[in-house]
Amino acid sequence: MVLSYKRGPSLKPQIQFSLSRDPQRYIYPNLYSIPHPHRQRLHFMIMSVMGSPMLSLTAAVGSFPFQTKYIPMSRDVRIKLGAEVDADSGQTRSATQTNGWFAPQRSRVAEGSPVSPLPLSSSHSEFWWDGQQVYIRDLDSPFGTYVNDVKIKKAVVLSSGDIISLGSKISRNANTPSYITDDHLKPVIAKVTLAGVSSS
């Protein structure tokens, strides 16, 4: 399979696929030569064609802001979703577009430390692929995990188009610190897209 990348008139990436004489030989574009906003999306598209399982999370309306995630999955490997900063140990994990950690945002205080979304726990939930389907499970988080607005109490199957919410919105009150922004009170809400996963 030969993959070529070119820019169309609208400056949006266009991907062309063609089969080579040797179907076992794959020629990849140099992903790092592609503009950053499109790089991970292109990788997700390539993995979709290759049949490799991946999960994409895109911020939905009302969500704490985050970059779209493209997370590769291996069979029976559990991937945690949670805050970049571990509230218990103070340890900072590196949030990237290919893992389940969500980066904090700056507070209203210019010199203040970044603040994670308050409804999001350090280890909020986890998901995994069993070779056929993708499951998500809450990890006893204080504000819960929701799939399509339903709070889950056990592992449930995820499908493309599902909306997951890691926590629920917290209302501002007289005790809310002034440096907390409205975004900090929002949960992580994401639309799920699956690639390389059976729809059955």
Please write the tens of the pLDDT for every residue from 135-164.
Answer: 999 999 999 999 999 999 999 999 999 999
pTM given for the model: 0.74
Residues 92 and 63 in one domain: yes
pLDDT at 113: 75
Residue 92, both tokens: 């900072």
Task: Compute the mean pLDDT over every residue in the chain, rounded to the nearest whole number.
Answer: 81
Which CATH number do you get for residue 169?
A: 2.60.200.20
Whether the predicted pLDDT of 16 surpasses 90: no
Q: How confident is the model over 178-193, as pLDDT tens digits?
A: 889 999 999 999 999 9
Token look-up 């610190």 returns 177
pLDDT at 40: 52
What is the Cα–Cα distance from 75 to 195, expressed in whole angstroms? 14
pLDDT at 199: 58
Mean pLDDT, residues 15-19: 40
Report the number of secondary-structure helices (H) and strands (E) in the chain: 1, 13
What is the Cα–Cα distance from 194 to 54, expressed in whole angstroms? 6
Residues 75 and 123 in one domain: yes
Domain, as residue range, for 144: 52-195
Residues 68 and 88 in one domain: yes
Q: How confident is residue 93, by pLDDT bands cut at 50, 70 and 90?
A: confident
Residues 42 and 94 in one domain: no
Contacts 24+ apart (CB under 8 A), 13-20: 13/38, 13/41, 13/42, 15/42, 15/45, 17/49
Residues 43 and 114 in one domain: no
Domain count for the chain: 2
Residues 69 and 143 in one domain: yes
Tell me, yes or no, whether 59 lies in a domain.
yes
- The residue among 28 and 187 whose pLDDT is bigger is 187
pLDDT at 92: 75
- Kindly report the number of other CB atoms within 10 A of residue 127's CB atom: 22
Handedness of CA 121, 197, 65, 89 (dihedral sign): positive
What is the Cα–Cα distance from 197 to 195, expressed in whole angstroms? 5
Residues 154 and 179 in one domain: yes
Residues 101 and 45 in one domain: no
Backbone torsions φ then ψ of 183, nearest 5 degrees: -65, -35
